[in-house]
Amino acid sequence: MSSVPASSAARRSPESALKKGEARIDFAPSPRPTIGVEWEFALVDAHTRDLSNEATSVIAEIGESPRVHKELLRNTVEVVTGVCDSAGEAIEDLRGTLGPARRIVRDRGMELFSAGTHPFARWSNQKLTDAPRYAELIKRTQWWGRQMLIWGVHVHVGISSANKVMPVMSSLLKYYPHMLALSASSPWWGGEDTGYASNRAMMLAAAHRRAAVSVSDLDGVRRLRPRPEEDRHHRPHQRDPLGHQAVAAPGHPGGAGVRRSVQFA
């Protein structure tokens, strides 16, 4: 999704608005609704099923491609789409990249593995990708960053106006528990049954990197909220008489996660 609206401080000159160490992210509007997908795959040995740290050689054989990227760990390759106009177009884009990539991976005695976590691999056996951005990430996250053996599918959407961002995000929150339940695929961690269908969500809840938005005044706070005329049409949070949120998001730091004992009709 496009970045959040810039605050009033960000609208001033960079020299006067930003302090040392701060960064400004300007909202990039999309002229039309678009979608893009990033799909992370683990590389596993075809015989042992353990993780294989061979992403560098796989990507080297694929060659320069805007559709296949390296990731933090050498056991991971990421397949991405271009800017698409529909979910169907994005699926076809992914299919076109996955075919050749899968053949190269299998020729090297491996398979592409897609799940939230690996069931038994040990994080201490994994190798980091040699790149400045990843070195900086590990420097900041330390142990939490090193042990994050998790994979996911990220969906980006293009939005025409910054004023639509918060209403769209607020509306999606009421569907978050359903999306998490449908996508849950990480019950095992380090060879142990965690008791959760999405242990990945629980790990992210404990140590997720959060992007800080600097707001210097009340006007900046108001700009991050939906406008009244938009808020009337986006009311995902219905409160009970005591003022509590009626729906808690599983996996969120304030939620309880998705337990595997839960039955869905």
Question: What tokens appear for 175 in the block?
Answer: 């569907």
| String of DSSP letters for 12-45 | S-HHHH--TT---------SS-EEEEEEEEEEEE
Same domain, 124 and 146: yes
Indicate if the pLDDT at residue 245 is higher than 60: no
Question: Which residue among 130, 158, 186 closes a domain?
Answer: 158
What share of the chain has pLDDT > 90, as a percent? 61
**Cβ–Cβ under 8 Å, residues 215 and 151:** no
pLDDT at residue number 145: 85
Q: What is the mean pLDDT of residues 62-89?
A: 96
Buried (b) or exposed (e) across 63-90, using 16+ Cβ within 10 A? eeeebbebbbbbbbbbbbbeebeeeeeb
Query: Could you tell me if residue 206 is inside a domain?
Result: yes
Query: Could you tell me if residue 109 is inside a domain?
Result: yes
Instruction: Indicate the residue type of 250.
Output: P
Question: What tokens appear for 25 in the block?
Answer: 């992210």
Same domain, 45 and 7: no
Question: What tokens appear for 126 in the block?
Answer: 């994994």
pLDDT at residue number 143: 86
Query: Could you tell me if residue 70 is inside a domain?
Result: yes
Question: Which residue among 108, 126, 158 closes a domain?
Answer: 158
Q: pTM of this prediction?
A: 0.71
Candidates 113, 92, 116, 141; CA nearest to 46 is 113
Same domain, 127 and 36: yes
C-alpha to C-alpha distance for 31 and 140, rounded to whole angstroms? 36
> CATH code at 68?
3.30.590.20
Same domain, 37 and 147: yes
Residue 151: CB atoms within 10 A of its CB come to: 23
- Give 33 or 252, the one with higher predicted confidence: 33
Question: Which residue among 158, 183, 209 closes a domain?
Answer: 158
Same domain, 139 and 216: no
**Cβ–Cβ under 8 Å, residues 254 and 260:** no
The tens digit of pLDDT for each residue in 194-211 reads 999 999 998 888 765 444
Helix (DSSP H) and strand (DSSP E) numbers for the chain: 11, 7
The tens digit of pLDDT for each residue in 131-153 reads 999 999 899 888 888 888 999 99
The tens digit of pLDDT for each residue in 162-193 reads 999 999 999 999 999 999 999 999 999 999 99
Cross-strand bridge partners of residue 121: none
List the domain range (segments joined by +) for residue 183: 1-12+161-252
Mean pLDDT of all residues belonging to the chain: 79
Candidates 240, 217, 236, 216; CA nearest to 226 is 236
Question: What tokens appear for 100 in the block?
Answer: 């050749």
C-alpha to C-alpha distance for 236 and 222, rounded to whole angstroms? 19
Residue 48 DSSP label: T
C-alpha to C-alpha distance for 215 and 150, rounded to whole angstroms? 32
pLDDT at residue number 214: 45
Number of domains in the chain: 2
